[in-house]
Amino acid sequence: MSMSNSVLSPVRRLLLTKGATLGIATAFPSAFPILAKSALLNTQTLEHATMIEKQEMNFTTHDGARIAYRKDGKGPALVLVHGTGGDGESNFAALTALLSDDYTVIRPDYAGSGATVDDGRALTVSYLADQVLATMDALGVRKVHLLGFSLGAAIAAKIAADHPDRVVSLILLAGYASPDARLKLEFELWRDLIARDRHAMARLVLLTGFSPDALASWGVDGVASAVEETLAGADWDGMARQVDLDLRMDIQDILPRIEAPTLVTGCTHDHMVPPAHAKALAVAIRNARYAELPTGHLAPMEQPDLLANQVRAFLSGSSD
């Protein structure tokens, strides 16, 4: 996936000239370039996010893959695992800017995303979980707070279930255990559009990824620019591999084995993975807490400030 490490993107310039909020100005047109257009961030956070965007990528290897990752900040280790079609930068740049003063934020890109390169095999949750663990090992980090978003929630849950000694606390955001009939229909549509009409797929992701109010607030020009950046910046072949996993995935049997203190968060206006899936995760994990954010599916980009507050509040109750 392409990365933007230079000056303000055309979309960010456009939105700034339209008098958009500073949260809208934290657009990062990289990887799967869904932009952080609705968070009410201050100037210092915007500058911090821009600095993080420019930082150098790190790499490690595991099972023939060259795994890319980013490490920012100081304090207890917090690993952020991205979702389908995203990477650590596009999903979590704004959140990292908000948390890296107090946490060492580690953002791996698993296979099919970012600068990670592998042999192109069919993906499994175990294979991707091993790549996240390899990143932790490369940094010499034994125990972490672990946050997984969307497909990343399944990967994080797998790590927590299989390696309870390595997870201090677990946050599962907008996740699901296995596709029901509606999710299966959606993921099949994604698969078909990636193969046949990527422009339609870019529009669909924006339409279903953000809450109606957030998307409408960008204006016609902002939405059109975001569609074009998504179309140009996505790693469509990598995303197709991840969608294939979305269709096959089933982690229901591992959920009762999770021991770490767990927060499961759904998104009230989520039209990609409706919050009923997150509620089901919370029921299946012993002593898990459930919360909601008033956002669409792409909460880390739509309202990273609200998510950061929720993460801080939960982690403050977990030992380091």
Return the active site residues: 150, 270, 297
What CA–CA distance (Å, rounded) separates 135 from 143?
Answer: 12
Bridge partners, residue 280, by sequence: none
What CA–CA distance (Å, rounded) separates 144 from 147?
Answer: 10
Question: Concatenated DSSP letters for 201-261?
Answer: HHHHHHHHHS-HHHHHHTHHHHHHHHHHHHHHH--HHHHHHHHHHHHH---GGGGGG--S-
What CA–CA distance (Å, rounded) separates 62 from 117?
Answer: 11
Bridge partners, residue 105, by sequence: 72, 78
Say if strands 104-109 and 289-293 run parallel, antiparallel, or are unpaired.
unpaired
